[in-house]
Chains A and B, each alone.
Chain A
C-alpha cells in the first residue's frame, strides 16, 4: 500500500494485480463501455439522470449498510424502514411545516435504528436476528399507519419536495447530489475521522479494540442508529419522487444494499470496505438493471444476471486476497 501507482504497474504481473485490486472500478468502467456500445439511448442525459435517480435511494441505505458491515454486523431492517419512514414522512408533511417534517423523520429513523443498535450492542443479540425482527416490525407498522394504502402529499411543502426530488442542478439530479454528498462525507469520515477509524478497528478485531479502552458497545450502537437515519433520508427521497409514502416501498432493498456493499469488496466479517467502492457497487447494480431494461430484458432474467454478477465480483475479490 506504500507503493506508488507507477511502481505497482511496473512490478511483475503489476497490471494484473492493479486490475484485481481495483476490480470494482474496472467492472464499472467495462459496464459503462459495454452499455454505450450496445445501446444508443444509454449515453443520453435523460437515461443517465434516470439511472442516478433510481439508484440514489438504495445508494443511501447502502452507505448505512456499509457502516454496519464494517463493524462485522448486518442490518436487514433498512428496506422496511424506508417503507415505514416514507409513510411517516408523508403523514408528517401534511401535519407540520416541511423542515420539521424532515427533522422528525430522520430522528425517528435514528430512533428505530437505535433499537437494533441497543439489542445488538447491549443485549448481545445476533445482528441478523435483531434486525430481522425490526424488519418485520417496521413493515407491519408501515401498513398500520398508512391504513393499507399510500399516503399522498397534500401541502405546499409536498409540492416543494416533489420538485426538488425530480429536478436537477447543473445537470445532476438533486437526489443524486444528496447521495454523493453522503458518500463523500462517509469517505472523509472513514479516513480522517476518529469515529470512522474506530468502527473499522472494531470490525477488524473487536477484542483488541476493547482491550485498547475503546467503548465498543457505544460505537456498535451508533452505526445501527446512523443506518436508521440514512434509511430515513432515503425514505424522504423516494417518497418525494412519487409524491407519496407507501408501505410497499423499499421491498427487499436491504438485499440490494448488502449486494452493493459486497460487490464493493467489503468483508462481511467486518473491517474491510470503503465508501467509494460501495458507490461503485451501487452503480454497477443500477447499470445492470438499466442496460437490461434498455435491451428489453424482462425482470426475472435480470435477477439471474444480478446474482451472477455478485458471484463474479466476490470470486474476483478472493483472487485479490491471495
Chain B
C-alpha cells in the first residue's frame, strides 16, 4: 500500500489547530517530496509557525494526520521530533550563549546522553560539520562571543545531524549578506541532492523563486494550494498570500501636504552607531518612507532623533526652531513620537491596561498641579482614542497582552497621538499583524497625516513602503543614499539604492 504514497517524504493532511477560541489552522495539507526544497509562504499570522511547531512536536494538532516515510507520527515533544529526523531552525535564535559552539550543536544529544562529557569528540565533530558548511567558526568558542551571522550558522549546523530527514528553515537569511546567503543556498542544494526534504519559510519572494522547487501558501490558517515554482511568478504568489490585488491594500492618499517642512534634520551623526551625515526634512501631512536593508541604520536614525541613542553632531529643526533631544523625555516634550519596531520590548506595556498604556505619555494633560490624575479626563481621552483608532476591545481596562498584534500596534500609536505629536516615527508598522489590521494601520497613518502631522515610516516591506509613502529615502551604510519621488517608486530602484548603486538610466 505504500507504493503510491512513497512519492512523498512528509505528508501532513487535514491539520487543524485552535488556541482557545482562536482557530489558527483549518484543514491544512502540506506534502513534501524527498530531495525537494519546498517553500512555505504566508503573511505573518497565517499559521506557518504553528504548522511547523506541530510538525516538530512543540504544539499538538487538534485533528489531522502526519505521515513520515509512509508511517504515521505523533511527536509529543521536540526531542521525539528530532529523533524522527525532523530538525527546525527557528527564527528567533535559540542558542545557549554560555555554552560552546560544539555543545550547542549537540545540545539535543546531551539531554539523552550518558554521564560524562566527551569534549574531544563533540568539538571535533562540530568543527568538521561547520567546516563542511564552508564557514569559519571555532567549535570550542563560546556562543556569546560570536557574531550574529556566526550564530545563525551554528543554528543551522545544529539542525543538521546525520539522521535529519526533514529540515525546516524559518527566515534563515535575515541577518546574512549576499555572500553568506549564497553559501547557505549552496549548502541547501547539496542537502537537497542528498535527498533531504527542506521546508523553507521566507518573505523574500525573490529567494523563493531562486531556490524552491515547489510552494505551499497559507492564508489565515487555510492552505491555498501547492504548486511548482516554475508555474508561477511573484505576482501570482502575492495574490495567493493576501487574497486580493496588492493595490487594494493601501488607502488613497488625500492629505494636503504643506509647503514648509515641519521637521528638518541636518547632518546628524551618531556617537555609537554607524549613522552619519543624515539630512532630510518632512512636511506636515506628508508620509515619508525610509527604506534600506537591515543594518543600514534606519532604526538607529530614528532612535538618534528621538534621543534614545547618543548624538555626536547635527541639528534638528522643528517648526523652524532648533531643538535638542538629549533623551526620549526631551523628544516627547517637543511632541515627537516614536513607535518602536520591537513592539513587545519597547513599544507597549504588555501587562498593563490600554488606558494605562495610553496615559503614560500624557500625564501632564490629564493631571492636576500636584500630579494627581484627573480620572474623568483620562477616561475621556483614552475612550476617544480607542474609538478613533478602532481598537477592538471590550473596554479600556483590558490588558494589552490580550490584544492581537494589530490592536497592540494601534495602542502603541495611540500613546503618541494622545500628546498631539507633530512628527511621528513609525518603525515597521505592520510587522506581525494580519492583513485586516494592516489595512487599518495604513488608514490610520493616512488619518494622522491628514491632521498635519509629519509621518516618517521605516519599513522593510517594499510593497508597503511604496504603497503608503509620498516620498522614499533609501539608507545604505548609515546614511541616506538616495531619494525617490512617487513616480520613481519601484522595488528595483529601492534595492539599487539599498546596496549603494545608482539608478539605471532609462532612455
A→B interface (CB under 8 Å):
1-2, 191-195, 197-198, 200-201, 203-205, 207-215, 271-272
Contacts and interface: CB of A to CB of B under 8 A. Distances in A.
B90 A211 contact: yes
A213 B82 contact: yes
B267 interface: no
A211 B94 contact: yes
Contact of B141 (A2, A194, A195, A209): A2
Contact of B97 (A205, A213, A214): A205
Contacts of B69: none
Nearest to A202: B96
A57 to B, nearest CB: 29
Contacts of B82: 212-213
Interface stretch (B37-45, B110-118, B332-340): B110-118
Interface in B465-487: none
Contacts of B140: 1-2
B379 interface: no
Nearest to B94: A208
B138 interface: yes
Given A209-B107, A211-B78, A201 B113 contact: no
B108 interface: yes
B207 interface: no
A317 to B, nearest CB: 14
Contacts of B138: 2
A271 B141 contact: no
B79 interface: yes
Contact of A194 (B80, B95, B115, B142): B115
21 contacts: A192-B117, A192-B119, A193-B115, A193-B116, A194-B113, A194-B117, A200-B98, A200-B99, A205-B95, A205-B96, A209-B96, A211-B78, A211-B90, A212-B110, A213-B77, A213-B80, A213-B108, A214-B79, A214-B108, A214-B110, A271-B97
Interface string B133-176: 00000101110010000000000000000000000000000000
A195 B112 CA distance: 11
A74 B138 CA distance: 33
B78 A272 contact: no
A208 B145 contact: no
Contacts of A272: 98
B103 interface: yes
Interface residues of B, number: 30
B117 A193 contact: yes
Given A211-B58, A212-B111, A214-B107, A194 B116 contact: yes
A204 B98 contact: yes
Instruction: Identify the interface centre among B95, B96, B115, B145: most chain A CB within 10 Å of its CB.
Output: B96
Given A200-B98, A201-B96, A213 B103 contact: no
Nearest to B112: A213
A194 B114 contact: yes
Given A2-B141, A200-B99, 20 more contacts: A1-B140, A193-B117, A194-B114, A197-B103, A200-B98, A201-B107, A203-B98, A205-B95, A207-B94, A208-B94, A208-B107, A210-B78, A211-B58, A212-B94, A213-B77, A213-B79, A213-B108, A213-B111, A214-B79, A214-B107
What does DSSP make chain A's interface, helix, strand, loop or mixed? helix
A69 to B, nearest CB: 13
B91 to A, nearest CB: 12
Chain A CB within 10 Å, residue with most, of B77, B97, B107, B142: B107
A213 B111 CA distance: 7
Nearest to A216: B111
A197 B110 contact: yes
Contacts of A271: 96-98
Contacts of A195: 115
Contacts of B117: 191-194, 197
Contacts of A210: 78
Contacts of A193: 115-117
A247 B112 CA distance: 42
Contacts of A205: 94-97
Contacts of A213: 77-80, 82, 108, 111-112
Contacts of A215: 111
A248 to B, nearest CB: 38
A306 B116 CA distance: 38
B90 A198 contact: no
A214 B58 CA distance: 13
A296 B33 CA distance: 80
B169 to A, nearest CB: 15
Contact of B110 (A191, A194, A203): A194
B330 to A, nearest CB: 27
B96 A208 contact: yes
**Which among A2, A191, A194, A272 has the highest number of chain B CB atoms within 10 Å?**
A194
Contacts of B145: 1
Nearest to B95: A208
Contacts of A212: 78-79, 82, 94, 107-108, 110-111
The 10 closest A-B CB pairs, nearest first, are A213-B79, A204-B98, A208-B94, A271-B98, A214-B111, A212-B107, A212-B108, A204-B96, A205-B96, A201-B96
